[in-house]
């Protein structure tokens, strides 16, 4: 078993897709270790995405990610990181495979509905960013 960290981004919450995305999490066999509904300040988003600080879309990304409420969750499953990346699809919804969450719900490459960790190491640090030990059941 391994863990991943996911976010339902402001565009998906605003467009009322959070329920369907949580249903998909269950359908894909993930155990929900922790889940909460929060709104980031722009500085929180800057801290979370600091690995992207040099990229041209960093400012827009941090503004978008703090523009409205999000759902954050720590999930467990066999091969959790890779499996969730398959479920969400490519970063750009135009390149995302049919049936993936981004193909179904994303508005654009920036407002792409969901986040998923890209490695076990980053999953653990992203989970730690949002959850205290006692918030993981």
Tell me if 24 contacts ligand IDP by CB under 6 A: no
Whole-angstrom distance, CA of residue 103 vs CA of residue 92: 9
Near ligand IDP in 60-89, by CB under 6 A: 61
**With respect to Mg ion, which residue has the nearer C-beta, 90 or 132?**
90
> Judging by beta carbons within 10 Å of its beta carbon (0-12, 13-18, 19+), is residue 82 exposed, middle or buried?
middle
- Partner whose footprint covers residue 91, from ligand IDP, Mg ion, none (CB < 5 to 8 Å by kind): ligand IDP
What are 72's two structure tokens?
């954050």
Query: Would residue 17 show up in a list of annotated catalytic residues for this protein?
Result: no
β-strands 70-77, 114-116: how paired? unpaired
- Residue identified by tokens 């190491």 is 121
Q: At what angle do helices 80-88 and 120-130 cross, to 10 degrees?
A: 80
Residue from 4, 66, 100, 112 binding ligand IDP (CB under 6 A): 112
Does position 91 interact with ligand IDP (CB under 6 A)? The reply is yes
Stretch that binds ligand IDP, among 11-19, 68-76, 107-115, 123-131 (CB under 6 A): 107-115
CB of 47 to ligand IDP, least distance (A): 14
Nearer to ligand IDP, 67 or 134 (CB): 67
108, 52 contact by CB (below 8 A):
no
List the structure tokens of 135.
């918030």
- 129's contact among Mg ion, ligand IDP, none, with CB below 5 to 8 A by partner kind, is none
CA-based diameter of the chain, in Å?
39
In whole angstroms, the minimum distance from the beta carbon of 27 to ligand IDP comes to: 21
């Amino acid at each position: 078993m391994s863990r991943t960290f996911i976010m339902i981004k402001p565009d998906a919450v605003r467009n009322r897709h959070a329920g369907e995305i949580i249903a998909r999490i269950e359908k894909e066999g993930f155990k929900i270790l922790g889940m909460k509904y929060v709104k980031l300040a722009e500085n929180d988003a800057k801290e979370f995405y600091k690995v992207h600080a040099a990229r041209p879309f960093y400012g827009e990304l941090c503004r978008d990610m703090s523009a409205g409420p999000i759902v954050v969750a720590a999930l467990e499953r066999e091969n959790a990181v890779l499996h969730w990346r398959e479920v969400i699809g490519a970063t750009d919804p135009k390149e995302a495979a049919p049936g993936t969450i981004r193909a179904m719900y994303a508005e654009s490459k920036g407002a792409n509905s969901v986040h998923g960790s890209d490695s076990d190491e980053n999953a653990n640090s992203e989970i730690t960013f949002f959850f205290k030990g006692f918030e993981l059941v």
